[in-house]
Amino acid sequence: MLFKRVLVWSVSIIVGVAAGYGTIAAFGTTVELYAVDLNFGVFDVLVNNFTFLCLSYAAILWIWLDYLLRTDMLPE
């Protein structure tokens, strides 16, 4: 069960980031255009619209992988 849960997390994160970069490439733009300029240094990279795009893709995939692999991380 632990292996399935690690698999769900890792696959959803990897595919979420790849889908985010794919979306950026499909629209012919760059990640820097989505950056939020807060002047906080490293925090600007974390609070980024691209991060939320990847997070949304990963969350959708995480829900489906949790259901398909029956890891029961989400309550019924």
Reported as a single tens digit per residue, the pLDDT across 47-73 is 788 888 999 999 999 999 999 999 988
Cα–Cα distance, 10 to 37 (Å, whole number): 29
Q: Please give the model's pTM, rounded to 2 decimal places.
A: 0.81
**Assigned domain for 6 exists:** yes
Whether the predicted pLDDT of 40 surpasses 80: no
**Assigned domain for 64 exists:** yes
Average predicted confidence (pLDDT) for the chain? 87
**Assigned domain for 42 exists:** yes
**Assigned domain for 76 exists:** no
Structural domain total, the chain: 1
Tokens of 25: 């490439």
- Per the structure, the complete domain to which residue 25 belongs is given by 2-69
The per-residue pLDDT for 45 is 65
**Assigned domain for 34 exists:** yes
**Assigned domain for 62 exists:** yes
**Assigned domain for 25 exists:** yes
**Assigned domain for 23 exists:** yes
Cα–Cα distance, 7 to 14 (Å, whole number): 10
